[in-house]
Amino acid sequence: METAVESGNCLGWAARDPSATLSPYKFNRREPLSADISLKILYCGVCYADVISTRNKMGDSKYPLVPGHEIVGVVTAVGSDVATFKVGDHVGVGTYVDSCRNCDYCNVRREIYCDERAIGTFNRIDKDGTITKGGYSTHVVVHERYCHKIPYGYPLEKAAPLLCAGITVYTPMMKHNMNKPGKSLGVVGLGGLGHMAVKFGKVFGLKVTVISTSESKRTEAINLLGADKFIISKDKDEMASAAKSLDFIIDTASGDHPFDPYLSLLKFDGIMVLVGFPSEIKISPFLLNFGSRCIAGSAAGGTKDTEEMIEFCAKNKVYPDVEIISIEYINEALERLTKSDAKHRFVIDIANTLK
């Protein structure tokens, strides 16, 4: 465990142990190096990864732990070599803040797959040996390569979820050609990631089916998000009626669930992409082999894809659905996340409530 610092130049909220109760915590951020920018944080999205890390579900949590990797703010200082940002720019920071910058993946700006592992925005060992601390804090200092301009006019509170939820579904959708008008897309799960997949699918001109375990999501999916169809995954009749009807499926569910019923919904040559993290995957080879189906995985996206996605969202007015909360509400919000009691994405109003 890191030795607690109760004084410093940055105020955040941190979990001190696996009980995961967050409370105010002061610590030091470095001064900007020559290629860094310093960002006053205005908003930070709340991701299920914050639950996983604060509760030490992966066994690697480093306390005190300041979560948050959907960061949006305004530039307050830039290093001497920074060429792409200036003071006053609106900027987002996503799930990682550094990488080796030399491997094959970094060279094509797919840094999330860095050979030496991208350095996560929080709970990871930085290059100077310190532990990274996330966006539940007043400011952050990041190398300019891992920062993304948010176009003026795009609502900043809605930009925050793009940096994780948005890019995590956008990247595999583009890679696997899930942007062909008239094709059919199934979206498993309707949380932060799932609702963004629906929004992208509709803008791409796809016929979108939401597949959920919860009947309460039906009105939301059809009336609010514009999905074309809604299926309860536990209803065998509904699932059977949709057999071989989908060209693509994007599975956002992280809880353990069966995969064969979803694979059965795919047409011949259909593709299913996993972006969640269930503990295991069990599938029938018969469904893959005799349907010529594919199953693939994906993790967030690189800096190139992130910039492209932000521009796409600005141009097409794609806005995540958010619930703005104060930092004082964060413990309740994280608990609600564990119960799937969030309408898509909590976003913390850092600037007005963390002081």
- CA distance linking residue 70 with residue 93, whole number of Å: 6
248 Cβ neighbours under 8 A, 6+ residues apart: 173, 176, 178, 183, 184, 185, 186, 206, 266, 270, 271, 272, 273
pLDDT at 338: 86
pLDDT at 214: 86
pLDDT at 2: 52
- CA distance linking residue 45 with residue 88, whole number of Å: 21
Which mean pLDDT values do the consecutive 10-residue runs of the chain (355 residues) have? 68 96 96 96 96 94 97 97 96 98 97 97 95 98 98 96 97 96 96 95 98 90 95 93 96 90 96 92 92 94 97 97 97 91 89 96
Q: What is the 3-state secondary structure (H, E, C) of 42-80?
A: EEEEECHHHHHHHCCCCCCCCCCECCCCCEEEEEEEECC
pLDDT at 327: 98
pLDDT at 162: 98
349: left (phi over 0), alpha (psi -120 to 50) or beta: beta
- CA distance linking residue 34 with residue 81, whole number of Å: 5
- CA distance linking residue 117 with residue 112, whole number of Å: 7
pLDDT at 119: 98
- CA distance linking residue 252 with residue 250, whole number of Å: 6
Q: Which CATH class is domain 10-163+320-353?
A: alpha beta
- CA distance linking residue 271 with residue 250, whole number of Å: 8
Q: Which two tokens stand for residue 95?
A: 């799930």
289 Cβ neighbours under 8 A, 6+ residues apart: none
Taking the chain, what is the end-to-end CA distance rounded to the nearest angstrom? Answer: 26
CB 114 within 8 A of CB 146: no
pLDDT at 262: 95
pLDDT at 244: 96
Other Cβ atoms less than 10 A from the Cβ of 177: the count is 12
Residues 202/206/211/216 CA torsion (nearest 10 deg)? 30
* Helices and strands (H, E) in the chain, number of each type: 12, 17
- CA distance linking residue 239 with residue 237, whole number of Å: 5
Domain boundaries, given as residue ranges, for the chain: 10-163+320-353, 166-297
Question: Domain spanning 166-297 has what CATH number?
Answer: 3.40.50.720
One fold for 10-163+320-353 and 166-297: no
Q: Which two tokens stand for residue 111?
A: 């840094």
- CA distance linking residue 45 with residue 73, whole number of Å: 12
pLDDT at 344: 80
With CA atoms as reference, report the closest residue to 65 among 75, 76, 53, 74.
53
Instruction: Encode 198-215: b = buried (16+ Cβ within 10 Å), e = exposed.
Output: bbbbbebebbbbbbbbee
